[in-house]
């Protein structure tokens, strides 16, 4: 029999008020409150790294970072996130190497049922988010459950990404759509 945590991570329906999950969210809120108040960048980022599943050594996140569990967050090397990023990690969030996130980026893996009876019963499930290498997400970008972005993707500020996109594209809008192809390895111009 799977635990609620195992069902949650697998994207299966689970009880969101399960004791283990509730205790972890409470623990994370307390830890993140302390971490986000830390003014020493090195200390703040080191403490945050210890709460996440794994990160590369070159890791920098401004305050105030928020997440549910930390268990399901996997971040590659050379990562930077600006202020007020929120990663809801019901399911795995996997971020490649050399990724840069603007302020107020939200990665949301939880899904609440459309059926009101299931929703009222506090059933929840989720879908993973995967972001390839060398991604740049502008400020106020929202990535919805189940989205995969390829390598070298740029997401314009304020975009809501509702579906997956391949490599070497600039996407923007609500819902996000391709506005430009970027040649692989090209430094390009400032597309946003």
80/102 Cα distance (integer angstroms): 9
98/34 Cα distance (integer angstroms): 27
For 9, the enclosing helix (H) or strand (E) is helix 4-9
Contact predicate 49/74, CB 8 Å? no
Write down the catalytic residue from 46, 97, 98, 112: 112
Residue 62 sits at φ, ψ, to 5 deg, of: -75, 165
83/14 Cα distance (integer angstroms): 31
- Per the annotation, the verdict on 140 as an active-site residue is no
Question: Which of helix, strand or coil describes residue 95?
Answer: strand
The residues that are catalytic are 112
């Amino acid at each position: 029999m799977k635990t609620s945590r195992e069902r949650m991570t697998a994207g299966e329906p689970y009880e969101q008020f399960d004791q283990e999950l509730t205790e972890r969210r409470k623990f994370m809120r307390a830890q993140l409150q302390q971490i986000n108040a830390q003014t020493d960048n090195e200390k703040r980022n080191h403490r945050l790294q210890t709460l996440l599943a794994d990160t590369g050594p070159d890791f920098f996140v401004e305050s105030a970072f928020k997440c549910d569990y930390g268990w399901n967050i996997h971040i590659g090397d050379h990562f930077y996130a600006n202020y007020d990023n929120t990663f809801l990690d019901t399911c795995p969030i996997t971020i490649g190497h050399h990724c840069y996130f603007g302020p107020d980026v939200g990665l949301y893996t939880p899904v609440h049922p459309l059926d009101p009876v299931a929703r009222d019963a506090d059933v929840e499930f989720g879908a993973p988010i995967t972001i390839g290498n060398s991604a740049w997400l502008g400020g106020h970008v929202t990535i919805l459950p189940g989205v995969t972005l390829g390598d070298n993707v740029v997401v314009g500020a304020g975009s809501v990404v509702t579906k997956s996109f391949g490599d070497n594209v600039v996407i923007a809008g609500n819902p996000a759509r391709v506005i430009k192809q970027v040649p692989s390895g090209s430094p390009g111009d400032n597309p946003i």
